[in-house]
Chains A and B, each alone.
Chain A
Amino acid sequence: MNDSLLKRHITIYSEQLRSRRLWNIFIILIFAVSFFMSSSIIDFNLSQIIDGFPRLSDYIVKILPNLDINLILENSKTEGSIQYWYFNFKKYAALLYETFNMAVLATLMGFIFALILSFLSAKNITPNIYSYHLVKRILEFLRGVPEIIFAILFVWALGVGPLAGIIAITIHTTGALGKLFSEVHENADLKTCEAIRSHGGNWVSEMRYGIIPKVLPNIISYALLRFEINIRASTVIGFVGAGGIGQELYLVINFNYYEEVSAIILLIILTVITIDISSGRIRQKIIGEMGV
């Protein structure tokens, strides 16, 4: 190879490398600036961490149960036993059950509303362009506002209790699923719909036979995913008085019933993980083998 060509290649390579490096430095600078701005606005500094961590570990030690390996299986009167730690288990179980039902109901209702609205807000199948834009904006609003904010509002209106939470989660679910569903519809292919139209089928039959069979596995799998999210949501929506185990957790944290805090949190984790795993299994099954 002649030397000048080689040199030219190397110059080009070095230049390209240099410009890429400049670009990287620029990005790093942006990050650094954002980092320092963020740190100053939220008073983030090392001393806060250093001061705080002993307190955090103190707190964690306090909420952890005082289990004594020798007494662990004793009855609820003996300090150190699991039963002593979970003396309130019946109450927690009832509340967890309520929480679960809140999530189920909110997911199902949100699912129904979202499914109906999604046909209107999918560009390719909407019966009319105004309803498309209107519904789309509404869905955006519904999922844009966090459920806990809705919950605060509904606790005002409906009083303390699970109803406020259910409605809040339903509303948010409608927004979130509505968007996903209409995206699923938009990716569906419309040949079947055209065929049905050519047979003289109306819009509803087009949706039922042209769209639903194609999108159902996807939609159900999204709904299950949302159910997993809603289980989490309903464990905390009680913080504002909207029902479920969160209400109890908020109470024991504020009254410093230390050991009960860990008892409840552990139950929540177990519930959430169990439901995540089972729902994940079902989702995988559904994606494989569903025909309607």
Chain B
Amino acid sequence: MASLEINSLVKKFSETTAINDISIRILDGEMVGIIGKSGAGKSTLMRLINRLIEPTSGSIAYNGIEITSLKGKNLKQWRSKCAMIFQQFNLIDRLDVLTNVLSGTLGINFKLLKLLKIYSKKEKIEALTYLNNLDLSDKALQRVGTLSGGQQQRVAIARAMMQNPSILLADEPISSLDPKNSKVVMDDIKKINKQDGIMVICNLHSLEIAKEYCDRLIGLSDGKIVFDGHPSSLTKELAEQLYDLENE
């Protein structure tokens, strides 16, 4: 079975060690929640996996292929394979929803015409289908900047799906959303995990949501793993330690 293997991963910034010797193995089809207080290194871990930033040392491998040494085209391919969604959505505000979703194909299938925003009919249908699954097809031509946060996050999910990913990285996908929208977005992510069997790694700042949606939780503290297991085995003390300031 395909898996993502992280070994002795370290990431140092000039002053802080954001990721301090982490090793994890995640299997295809798992839905993993990463929890920990802010500054614990959750976002850094995601960025390392997507290779938006370079590790200081250690290895990340997918299906036995070393990710950290990929360059050029292979690196781009890897990034499109592990789609990422962000706390602040990171969409192109001034462009319409459909074009934003279509831009997810730029990594796997680049054509010069796409620089003029010309996409094939097949891709447009695919994009609209994803939007429709996320209940957004009526917003297809609206500018992204005019949508609500929840809608924008679902556009981001649609863009991620366009990448035809094997892994979905979600960096605090619901922390800028209200409870109702949070639920919609988390349900959508869960659906992607269950129906398409895509591995999901999700940073969450809410323990309740993490327990509700994930099969497995990884607790980070100061760049180290302090918990790894089924949500039910997370003790109350540990949970409090993981979240101390956050939940007061």
Please list the residues of chain A having a beta carbon within 8 angstroms of any beta carbon in chain B: 1, 5-6, 9-10, 12-13, 16-17
Contact = CB atoms under 8 A, between A and B. Distances in A.
B169 interface: no
Contacts of B124: 10, 13
Contact of B129 (A6, A13, A16): A6
A9 B117 contact: no
Interface in B122-143: 124-125, 128-129, 132, 137, 140-141
Contact of B137 (A1, A16, A17): A1
B121 interface: yes
A20 to B, nearest CB: 9
A99 B66 CA distance: 66
B98 interface: yes
Given A1-B137, A16-B141, A10 B121 contact: yes
Contacts of B137: 1, 5-6, 9
A1 B129 contact: yes
Contacts of A5: 137
A10 B98 CA distance: 10
Given A1-B132, A13-B98, A6 B141 contact: no
Contacts of B98: 13
A9 B140 contact: yes
Interface string B214-240: 000000000000000000000000000
A12 B128 contact: no
A13 B141 contact: yes
B140 A6 contact: no
Nearest to A12: B141
Contacts of A12: 141
A1 B128 contact: yes
B125 A13 contact: no
Interface string B135-179: 001001100000000000000000000000000000000000000
| Minimum-distance CB pairs A-B, first 5 | A1-B132, A10-B124, A9-B128, A6-B128, A9-B140
12 contacts: A1-B128, A1-B132, A6-B128, A6-B129, A6-B137, A10-B124, A10-B128, A12-B141, A13-B124, A13-B141, A16-B141, A17-B117
A13 B140 contact: yes
B125 A10 contact: yes
Contacts of B132: 1, 6
Contacts of A10: 121, 124-125, 128
